């Protein structure tokens, strides 16, 4: 290649790079720095966004259990799975949340701690350990209808001969750093158009290119900057009414 052609090539490259500068954030090639309880993840092409808070959580559906095939293997929290422990897998509750699981047919109930993600089977809302399933009487049927509620857990100990109970708080992530994801596009030009529209309304808008783990290749448009989850949720509801049906709140890094 001649010297003139090299110079022309470099000028064109510089022009293209400068025209994109400040419009699209650099690719994320490392895992998110968000805490595990809030970290988005992808299973079989479906992207899951953990809810920021367990406060007031209640849900009814089908529970299942998993046993020795997974015993000793790492869970989503990093702990090894213990089929004889009292833990559970849930798709979106913050890791570390304690929940009360009630068998809706026989009334039995247990308290378990969420330390894993799942179950990824349609219609199932929680996966229990073998021991937890045994206490509910669901080992043989495999699945049962349940009600799941986020709860506080109290620990009993003695102080000067008197019994004292210390309650663990339900994880509350109301205050932090939040944005509203308004849209996701495989073409960056569509993301840029939406960014321009959102700038006039919300002021601060970022385009996040496909991450290392995003096989679908979407450019995600995230708008606004909020410290209060409830305020972000109100704005997201307003945007949905204004013609952005896909708007939802996401936790972001500082």
pLDDT digits (tens, 9 = 90+) for 61-108: 999 999 888 999 999 888 999 999 999 999 989 888 999 999 999 999
> Residue 110 pLDDT more than 60?
yes
pLDDT digits (tens, 9 = 90+) for 29-69: 234 566 767 777 777 766 777 887 788 888 899 999 998 88
pLDDT digits (tens, 9 = 90+) for 160-173: 777 777 767 666 66
Mean pLDDT of 111-136: 92
Q: Which residues pair with 126 in a beta bridge?
A: 63
Strands 41-43 and 248-251: unpaired
Question: Structural domains in the chain?
Answer: 53-155 (2.40.40.10), 174-251 (3.30.70.1070)
> Residue 144 pLDDT more than 90?
yes
Structure tokens at 88: 């559970």
Q: Give the predicted TM-score (pTM) of the model.
A: 0.60
In the chain, the N- to C-terminal Cα span, in Å, equals 46
pLDDT of residue 34: 67
Mean pLDDT of 5-26: 33
């Amino acid at each position: 290649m001649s010297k003139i052609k090299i110079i022309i090539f470099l000028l064109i490259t510089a022009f293209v790079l400068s025209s994109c500068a400040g419009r699209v954030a650099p690719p994320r090639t490392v895992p998110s720095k968000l805490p595990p309880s809030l970290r988005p993840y992808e299973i079989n092409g479906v992207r899951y966004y953990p809810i920021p808070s367990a406060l007031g959580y209640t849900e009814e559906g089908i529970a299942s259990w998993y046993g020795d095939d997974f015993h000793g293997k790492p869970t989503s929290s990093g702990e090894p799975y213990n089929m004889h422990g009292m833990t559970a897998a849930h798709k979106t509750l913050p890791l570390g949340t304690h929940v009360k699981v009630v068998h809706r047919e026989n009334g039995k109930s247990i308290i378990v701690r969420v330390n894993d993600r799942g179950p990824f089977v349609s219609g199932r809302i929680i996966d229990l350990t073998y021991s937890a399933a045994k206490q509910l009487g669901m080992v043989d049927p495999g699945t049962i209808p349940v009600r799941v509620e986020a709860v506080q857990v109290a620990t009993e100990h003695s102080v000067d001969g008197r019994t004292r109970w210390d309650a663990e708080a339900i994880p509350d992530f109301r205050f932090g750093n939040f944005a509203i994801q308004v849209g996701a596009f495989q073409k960056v030009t569509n993301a840029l158009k939406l960014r321009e529209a959102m700038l006039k309304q919300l002021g601060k808008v970022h385009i996040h290119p496909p991450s290392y783990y995003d096989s679908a290749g979407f450019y995600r448009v995230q708008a606004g900057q909020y410290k209060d989850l409830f305020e972000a949720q109100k704005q997201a509801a307003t945007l949905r009414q204004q013609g952005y049906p896909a708007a939802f709140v996401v936790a972001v890094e500082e």
